[in-house]
Amino acid sequence: MHFTKSAAILAVGTALTVGLAGCNSGSSSASGSSGDIKIGLSVSTLNNPYFVQFRNGAQAEAKKEGVSLTVTDASNDSSQQVNQVQNFTSQAMKAIILNPVDSDAAAPAVTAASRANIPVIAADRGVNKATVDETIASDNVTGGKLAAQELAKELGGKGTIVVLQGTAGTSAANDRGKGFTEGIAAYPNIKVVAQQPADFDRTKGLDVMTNLLQSHPGITGVFAENDEMALGAIKALGAKAGTTIKIVGFDGEVDGIKAVQAGTLNATVAQQPALLGQLAVQAAVKAAKGTKLAATVSVPVKLATKDNASQFATS
Amino acid sequence: MSADTLQKQAGPSERNGAVRAASRFFAENGALGGLVILVVALSLMSGSFLTVTNLLNVGVQAAVTAILAFGVTFVITTAGIDLSVGAVAALSAVVCAWSATSEGLPWPLALVVALGVGILCGLVNGALITYGKLPPFIATLAMQGVARGLALVISQGSPIALPNSISHLGDTISSYLPVPVIVMVAMGLVTAFVLARTYSGRAMYAIGGNEEAARLSGIKVTRQKLITYALAGGFAAVAGIVLASRLASATPEAASGYELDAIAAVVIGGASLSGGKGTAFGTFVGALILAMLRNGLNLLSVSSFWQQVVIGVVIALAVLLDTLRRRSTN
């Protein structure tokens, strides 16, 4: 008796929770009409404004094209992502957009989809050791070079700078750092005095910048490998941010663009996550209709400065 | 005994007394020895370490972890664990920013609502553990997911700017009094008071020592555990507000992984994961060690790959030092 009662409570509770969550997510997936094309999108994490914009761009495009788009969040867990892609194959998706948590660990997910003859589009990050139908990504190395050139321009070709690095070992941190190092090498009078990790995190950006100011009080420039860290650095630098100490960020996220408009961030290398999402859905629709895709499409990075900041999304 | 006689031969009785008092103090606060070693080592290695500004920076950077860890101290003292504090901190901060901006609540009320959310999360943890008979690890792991998820739902995944009135909590008064440090010290004093001077505090030690014995001796274990987890939730809310005010914005992904830092701080501070031990001062020292280490690694420009190695090794050494000291004194 007791057991059945509590089991009933458990069942009702579960049903309510799932139902509630279902209601909320129901509105976010556009229902299909044109040819009933169903597309699955597995996002690496929605715990990051950049990927939220990416998803929003994808959803807007899906609505425009009248296809049904199911979005799942892998919470930065590669094995969860493999499960999600496998679920997509059993849901008879016509195409899958994969935003890999990890380029190496994504191969099993892609293989699972290929076995079911479902085309896969890799977005934002590539997939190693498995073939996808198309890879759409921003060029992080070029972006890093662009950031170096802009920072050098702001500094008039000379100064001492520090670099706030992203999470050690991630492709974004590696590529942006590589591009920046190559770019800054062209300016012999600019010296990089410290490179320290702040894990793409705003709080850590604040803390690491505060600490670096103690050991290198005379710096004139900062390159942060993403906007979150740049925003933390701005907090640490106070009134010096954007004036006596030049800062260049990366991503062009909403708060970053706002900081560029406010003059505290001198420039940010804007990726275009919404455009990335839009292009990914367009490619997925084409693939679902059997059109052959280009192997790689690179979404251009754009330098956002005070002059052109109004062109970028700020909401 | 033998150490005693040695000391007696070493010098006059007054100095002897001072030495004995100092050695007893260090024996009781093993982590403090680790902190002293760290301060000396970093001062020798980096010229910019031992300055007033830098030490204040360390204090500010320790604040969030310390406040979270104070809350976790209560839980660990009862032989429980709380994995949800980081997520609850983020949820409280997001609720605070959201209610003060999009809902237009006056800021003092927004702070109260945020604190209420933290306490409520703690109470749910406590209820799952006491009435639901869930192991604390699982109950608080579930809460971690729920709180982090709700923070994302409310904020729609994007940071919410904090009104100026609240973000002043992250400021520094007259350039030498950072508000986060004041809040940290205040919360530390509250923790010390609760643990040492209140019925609930003594009940926590009793429950952690032997839950069945505590029950038999008339302690209302269920009620005291609810209080314990509610305190941890409330402290997490305070930590979340301090964190958000430092950045003038509340992000749903803030403070992820901080629960492990908090647990590390508590254990470095001499608490035992099997319960019955733990002090506010020890936890404070533990949080300072972690913050000082990160600060020092930045000052010394240690490469990003090595930093994680060093932090891991120092945590192990700090706790090892403490256990060795305890064994030699017993």
For the stretch B24-61, pLDDT in tens is 666 666 788 889 989 999 999 988 899 988 999 899 99
Whether residues A167 and A234 share a domain: the answer is: yes
All residues of chain B having their beta carbon less than 8 Å from the beta carbon of residue A217 are 48
Confidence label for B75 from pLDDT (cuts 50, 70 and 90):
very high
**d(CA B261, nearest CA chain A) in Å:** 14
In-domain check, residue A39: yes
In-domain check, residue A308: no
Are A215 and B53 within 8 A, CB to CB?
A: no
Q: Domain count of chain A?
A: 2
Whether residues A179 and A97 share a domain: the answer is: no
All residues of chain A having their beta carbon less than 8 Å from the beta carbon of residue B57 are 207, 210-211, 214
All residues of chain A having their beta carbon less than 8 Å from the beta carbon of residue B253 are 47-48
All residues of chain A having their beta carbon less than 8 Å from the beta carbon of residue B53 are 214
Whether residues A229 and A191 share a domain: the answer is: yes
3-state secondary structure A192-252: EEEEEECCCCHHHHHHHHHHHHHHCCCCCEEEECCHHHHHHHHHHHHHHECCCEEEEEEEC
**d(CA A115, nearest CA chain B) in Å:** 33
Are B157 and A48 within 8 A, CB to CB?
A: yes
Strands A120-123 and A38-43: unpaired
Whether residues A46 and A126 share a domain: the answer is: yes
Whether residues A144 and A258 share a domain: the answer is: yes
**Residues written for chain B:** 330
Whether residues A246 and A257 share a domain: the answer is: yes
All residues of chain A having their beta carbon less than 8 Å from the beta carbon of residue B159 are 49, 202, 255
3-state secondary structure of B93: helix
Per-residue pLDDT of chain A (315 residues; tens, 9 = 90+): 455 666 666 666 666 666 555 544 433 444 444 557 899 999 988 877 788 889 999 999 999 999 999 998 888 888 888 888 888 888 889 999 999 887 778 888 888 888 888 999 999 888 888 889 999 988 889 999 999 999 999 999 999 999 999 988 777 888 899 999 999 999 999 999 999 999 889 999 999 999 999 999 999 999 999 999 999 999 999 999 999 999 999 998 889 999 999 999 999 999 888 899 999 999 999 999 888 888 888 888 889 999 998 888 665
From CA B36, how far away is CA B206, in angstroms rounded? 32
Q: Which residue has the tokens 């590669």?
A: A78
For residue range B76-99, list pLDDT tens digits in order: 999 999 999 999 999 999 999 999
In-domain check, residue A107: yes
Contact A69, A41 (CB under 8 A): yes
Are A49 and B157 within 8 A, CB to CB?
A: yes
Are A215 and B243 within 8 A, CB to CB?
A: no
Burial of B139 (0-12, 13-18, 19+ CB in 10 A): buried
Are B49 and A207 within 8 A, CB to CB?
A: no
Residues 6+ apart with CB under 8 A from B277: B77, B205, B208, B270, B271
Phi, psi for residue A20 in degrees, rounded to 5? -60, -45
- Residue in chain B lying closest to A192 (CA): B301
Mean pLDDT of chain B: 89
In-domain check, residue A309: no
Which residue, among B158, B162, B261, B295, would best test binding to A if mutated, counting the most A CBs under 10 Å from its CB? B158
Residue among B243, B246, B301 minimizing CB distance to A196:
B301
Give the residues across from B250 on adjacent strands.
B160
In-domain check, residue A7: no
In-domain check, residue A157: yes
Residue among A197, A211, A235 minimizing CB distance to B304:
A197
Are B57 and A211 within 8 A, CB to CB?
A: yes
Are B253 and A48 within 8 A, CB to CB?
A: yes
For residue range B89-144, list pLDDT tens digits in order: 999 999 999 999 988 899 999 999 999 999 999 999 999 999 999 999 999 999 99
- Residue in chain B lying closest to A208 (CA): B298
**d(CA A118, nearest CA chain B) in Å:** 30
Phi-psi region of A92 (alpha: psi -120 to 50; beta: other; left: phi over 0): left
**d(CA B247, nearest CA chain A) in Å:** 7
Whether residues A66 and A164 share a domain: the answer is: no
For B185, the token pair is: 């010290």
- Residue in chain B lying closest to A193 (CA): B301
In-domain check, residue A315: no
Whether residues A186 and A282 share a domain: the answer is: no
Q: Can you say how many angstroms the Cα of residue B124 is from the centroid of all Cα atoms in its chain?
A: 21
Q: How far is CA A186 from CA A256, A269, B53, B309, B319, in A?
A: 27, 19, 36, 34, 48
From CA A25, how far away is CA A29, in angstroms rounded? 7
From CA A161, how far away is CA B45, in angstroms rounded? 22
Are A52 and B61 within 8 A, CB to CB?
A: no
Whether residues A212 and A293 share a domain: the answer is: no
From CA A14, how far away is CA A6, in angstroms rounded? 12
Across the range B70-81, mean pLDDT stands at: 97
Residue type, A70: T
Give the ipTM. Answer: 0.74
Q: What b/e sequence results for A57-73 when a residue is b if at least 16 CB atoms lie within 10 Å of its CB, and e otherwise?
A: bbbbbbeebebbbbbbb
**d(CA B301, nearest CA chain A) in Å:** 6
Neighbours of B82 (CB within 10 A): 32
**Listed residue (B206, B190, B212, B330) closest to B275, CA to CA:** B206
Are A215 and B57 within 8 A, CB to CB?
A: no
In-domain check, residue A290: yes
Whether residues A148 and A182 share a domain: the answer is: yes
Which residue, among A17, A206, A207, would best test binding to B if mutated, counting the most B CBs under 10 Å from its CB? A207
For residue range B258-295, list pLDDT tens digits in order: 999 999 999 999 898 889 999 999 999 999 999 999 99
All residues of chain A having their beta carbon less than 8 Å from the beta carbon of residue B295 are 207, 211
Residues 6+ apart with CB under 8 A from A1: none
From CA A313, how far away is CA B105, in angstroms rounded? 28
Contact A94, A68 (CB under 8 A): no
Confidence label for B4 from pLDDT (cuts 50, 70 and 90):
very low
From CA B294, how far away is CA B75, in angstroms rounded? 26
Q: List residues of chain B with CB under 8 Å from any CB of chain A.
A: 46, 48-49, 51, 53-54, 57, 60-61, 64, 148, 152-153, 156-159, 243, 246-249, 251-256, 294-295, 298-301, 304-305, 307-308
From CA B290, how far away is CA B295, in angstroms rounded? 9
* Helix/strand/coil percent split, chain B, to 5: 75, 0, 20
Whether residues A265 and A280 share a domain: the answer is: no
**Residues written for chain A:** 315
From CA B304, how far away is CA B298, in angstroms rounded? 9
Whether residues A84 and A105 share a domain: the answer is: yes
Domain that holds residue A245: 140-271
Q: List residues of chain A with CB under 8 Å from any CB of chain B.
A: 24, 46-49, 52, 165, 168-169, 194-197, 202-203, 206-208, 210-212, 214-215, 217, 231-232, 235, 254-255
Which residue, among A47, A72, A201, would best test binding to B if mutated, counting the most B CBs under 10 Å from its CB? A47
From CA B44, how far away is CA A133, in angstroms rounded? 57
pTM over 0.80: no
Are B158 and A202 within 8 A, CB to CB?
A: no
**d(CA B253, nearest CA chain A) in Å:** 6
- What does B230-278 look like in DSSP terms, one character per residue? HHHHHHHHHHHHHHHHHHTEE-TTTTTTHHHHHHHHHHHTT--TTSS--
3-state secondary structure chain A: CHHHHHHHHHHHHHHHHHHHHHHHHHCCCCCCCCCCCEEEEEECCCCCHHHHHHHHHHHHHHHHHCCEEEEEECCCCHHHHHHHHHHHHHCCCCEEEECCCCCCCCHHHHHHHHHCCCCEEEECCCCCCCCCCEEEEECHHHHHHHHHHHHHHHHCCCEEEEEEECCCCCHHHHHHHHHHHHHHCCCCCEEEEEEEECCCCHHHHHHHHHHHHHHCCCCCEEEECCHHHHHHHHHHHHHHECCCEEEEEEECCHHHHHHHHHCCCCEEEECCHHHHHHHHHHHHHHHHCCCCCCCEEEECCEEEECCCHHHCCCC
Phi, psi for residue A92 in degrees, rounded to 5? 55, 50
Residues 6+ apart with CB under 8 A from B141: B83, B84
All residues of chain B having their beta carbon less than 8 Å from the beta carbon of residue A27 are none
Domains and CATH numbers, chain B: 29-325 (1.10.3470)
For residue range A277-309, list pLDDT tens digits in order: 999 999 999 999 888 888 888 888 889 999 998
Q: Domain containing A243 — which CATH number?
A: 3.40.50.2300
For B249, the token pair is: 């914005």
Residue among A52, A194, A206 minimizing CB distance to B301:
A194
From CA A35, how far away is CA A38, in angstroms rounded? 9
All residues of chain B having their beta carbon less than 8 Å from the beta carbon of residue A52 are 156-158
